Structure 1
Amino acid sequence: MLCDNHALADRWFRRITKPGGSPRARLICFPHAGGTASYFRGWARLVPPDIEVLAVRYPGREDRLVDPFAQSMEALADEVTSAVGALLDRPTAFFGHSMGASVAYEVAARLHARRTPSRAPGPVALFLSGRAGPGHERVRNLGEADDRELMDEVIGMGGTEAAAFSDPELRDLVLPVIRSDFQLVERYGRSSPGSRFLDVPVFAYYGDHDAHLDPSAIEAWSAVTSGPFAARSFDGGHFYLAPHAEELVGDVVGRLRPLLVRPVR
């Protein structure tokens, strides 16, 4: 059973930092809509050696290209929750950007609901980026837009996937991924069950020129936890985290350090 659990984790998570030693903590990153695990590869040089960084491998892209897209936030969160258990043998935090913030939150809520003395605990903190809190999402129906409108939206947000649009073959690979993720997020936004209560620190980040977010939508994340909450803005739009990666990762690590009190098993 242990081997099966680790095989499931290997399918769903890519190690970003180099393997070696026994990390004191883990940081699991959840990509944005249309995003991939490799989006976070630059973070490997920004974290200290005692923190292992992994990223979620969503189906339908990169080395999971033949796997069918997730059909709902609920199904995606359920599968990630099943896979992440093998990685919770030491203090673990979640970082999610945009769609990834909602996935990270839903996984954390599931782990919290299942928590018992015999089960692995959930994350020690949530770092949520570029996403409004539950019940404050703006649903824009981009998943049903035509290709040109969808591409213009991604280009306008500054998404790295936009670089593929000039190559017809790459565009044909990337657009269905983006469309499927937007549809998933929009269905979730229409039927979001609202806040599920957690008891861990929640830290929210956003670009102060993100056209689809405002401080009140970010502050809404404070309603999901009885633990500490803090928000921080960076100069930039939806993908502020690309030019500010070093500063952002430094802030995440600085906030994570005081929480690493759980002994490693």
Structure 2
Amino acid sequence: MTGNGVGADWLREFRTAARPRTVLVCFPAGGGSASAYRALAQQIGDGYTVLAVQYPGRQDRLGEPMIADIEEMAEQVARVLPAGGSEGLALFGHSMGATVAFETARRLEAQGHTLTRLFVSGRIAPTAPYPGRLHEAPDAELIAELERLADDPAAVSVLRSEPSIAELVLPAVRNDYRAVETYTFRPGDPLRCHISAMLGDGDPTVTAEQAGAWREHTTGDFELEIFPGRHFYLDEKVPQVASFVAARLS
């Protein structure tokens, strides 16, 4: 699945189990990269293989053209994911990654694959339009939005004082806001897999009611779990998130 094999471009393997009960595939937030899931992979426990999606245009794919279309990202990922076997397959996505994971799940199920669960974190349900045109905004407005979402706004403020860093970070952020803000849900059959929706109780981008609307997108079980924290609560609550996920993969 990784290395020089199928999915080498798109997938990074952060945890390997010889005989995994489940393969968990993680989708980063907008502007993010696969390495955001390294800590979660380390703490999720034995018996799981953890892969993370690496979107083009960042880290070791920096020289590749970015994709500003959520459905196209999902098409690419669905082509390289394992087709099944004795182990289960589950998807986890945060923020934009939740929508990419959802669209990937739709494609996999349409191809006849079985998913055990979809984890959607810090994201409104796909039927709700995402307001705004930040992808067309000046850099200063993008930085202000990142400060609004950050647990520590001061850590983001460096983008104002260090143009060289901003030149590396902001293109992916702008690209992914374009993907989010131009995404349109296409009606179709609900998923068969279970859905676990997750959010921080202080997240300014999604309410519990909005996260609860994910229940409309599965014929399986649905649950909503609220953690202490803001939009990026999972960075601060890695042990709790890892425990929550592992309990549902067992």
Give the drift of 1:159: 6.9
Aligned to 1:202, the other structure's residue is in SS state: strand
* Unmatched tracts of structure 2, length 5 or more: none
Structure 1 counterpart of 2:185, one-letter code: S
Aligned to 2:145: 153
Give the drift of 1:182: 0.3
Give the drift of 1:49: 1.9
Identity value in percent: 36
* Aligned ranges 1:1-265 → 2 under 5 Å: 7-17=5-15, 19=16, 21-85=18-82, 88-89=84-85, 90-115=87-112, 121-158=113-150, 162=156, 165=159, 166-188=161-183, 191-194=184-187, 196-257=189-250
Aligned to 1:242, the other structure's residue is in SS state: helix
**Residues 244 and 20 of structure 1, relative CA distance in 2, 3 Å threshold:** closer
Post-superposition CA distance 1:195-236 (Å, at most 9, x none): 641111100001111122112211110001110000011111
Question: CA separation in 1, counterparts of 2:13 and 2:2?
Answer: 18
CA contact (8 A) 1:134 1:194 kept: no
CA contact (8 A) 2:93 2:100 kept: yes
Post-superposition CA distance 1:159-206 (Å, at most 9, x none): 788376243222101100000000011000xx2224641111100001
TM-score by length of 1: 0.87
Give the drift of 1:26: 1.1
Give structure 1 regions of 4+ aligned residues with deviation exceeding 3 angstroms: 3-6
Q: CA RMSD in A?
A: 2.1
TM-score by length of 2: 0.91
**Residues 185 and 251 of structure 1, relative CA distance in 2, 3 Å threshold:** same
Structure 2 counterpart of 1:167, one-letter code: E
Aligned to 1:263: none
